[in-house]
Amino acid sequence: MSVTLTAARQARLVPALQAKGGRIVAGGTLAIADLNQGPTSGSALITLDRLGFDQVTAKGGKVTLGAMVTMAKIARDRRLKFLHPVANSIGGPAVRAMATVGGNLFAPAPYGDMAAALLALDAEVTLHDGKTTRKLVIEAFLRQRHKLNKTCIVSVSFASPPAGAFRYFKAVRRKPVSASVVTIAALLPRKAGKIKGARIALGAMAENAVRARKAEAALEGAALDHEAIAAAANLITTETSPADDAYASAWYRREIAPVYFFRLLTA
């Protein structure tokens, strides 16, 4: 198999290369495995290393992660402490050193833990389609991500969560390295002791990370007490469609998600 590697010099030129059959390789943790298993006729790979997409900015309460920021970089950044459990739950050290934020947005279930966290954080995805740079709310992005494979993700941005408002748990079969049985990310800001603006995202419970809107509604305006959490836990799987895979059955995922959700919120 012949492989050509093109280092993109401008984000706006990447979609034209993709249109000609080129494929972005960021960390390559998934893309190279696909390449190894794919057709043997040849492949054009596009690297983004020269575009400066590996920067983290945190200013005025807004965080921007370049698409090429790795999990290891997030785990080292003191401004991103709330994301350390997320980054550290992704693969082992070798995978974290390579795996990028942009790549994680395309990772199929049961992967996509960072995508689930970014969904709870209501992130905005900046992408270049060759003509314009545009922004998409992450929920819309994840829903259409298969149609967006001819675009170049530039970065993701979100508001820094208030202290203690972001919670994360990933249930796994085997520690320390495993894909997800269920990933739970929750943003639970409080005003005068009551939840205001709850966002709950679940990973490995559908093709891509999804919101648990009914559970969010059950928490809205409530104090974070056992009663409200139990009511929300009862609703946590109602909008999901998990798969059976090597890590867990769909049945098990549905059984275990409310239990871990309850524990996460009562911890």
Ligand X SMILES: Cc1cc2nc3c(=O)[nH]c(=O)nc-3n(C[C@H](O)[C@H](O)[C@H](O)COP(=O)(O)OP(=O)(O)OC[C@H]3O[C@@H](n4cnc5c(N)ncnc54)[C@H](O)[C@@H]3O)c2cc1C
Q: Which residues bind ligand X (CB under 6 A)?
A: 23-31, 48, 67, 90-91, 95, 98-100, 102-104, 106-107, 111-114, 152-153, 179
Q: Are 145 and 105 in contact (CB under 8 A)?
A: yes
Using the minimum distance from each CB to ligand X, give the nearer residue, 102 or 242.
Answer: 102
Work out the number of other CB atoms within 10 angstroms of the CB of residue 212: 28
Using the minimum distance from each CB to ligand X, give the nearer residue, 99 or 185.
Answer: 99
Q: Give the shortest CB-103-to-ligand X separation in angstroms.
A: 2
Q: Give the shortest CB-257-to-ligand X separation in angstroms.
A: 17
Work out the number of other CB atoms within 10 angstroms of the CB of residue 108: 12
Using the minimum distance from each CB to ligand X, give the nearer residue, 25 or 171.
Answer: 25
Using the minimum distance from each CB to ligand X, give the nearer residue, 155 or 237.
Answer: 155
CA distance 243 to 74: 29
Question: Residue 9 in 3-state DSSP?
Answer: coil
Q: H-helix or E-strand containing 56? A: strand 56-59
Using the minimum distance from each CB to ligand X, give the nearer residue, 99 or 198.
Answer: 99
Q: Give the shortest CB-227-to-ligand X separation in angstroms.
A: 33
State the residue number with the nearest CB to ligand X.
Answer: 103
CA distance 173 to 50: 38
DSSP code for 5: E
DSSP 174-227: SSSS---SEEEEEE--EETTEE-S-EEEEESSSSS-EE-HHHHHHHTTS-S-HH
| Strands 3-7 vs 43-47: parallel, antiparallel or unpaired | parallel
Q: Give the shortest CB-63-to-ligand X separation in angstroms.
A: 17
Using the minimum distance from each CB to ligand X, give the nearer residue, 143 or 214.
Answer: 143
Q: Give the shortest CB-262-to-ligand X separation in angstroms.
A: 23
DSSP code for 235: H
Q: Give the shortest CB-122-to-ligand X separation in angstroms.
A: 19
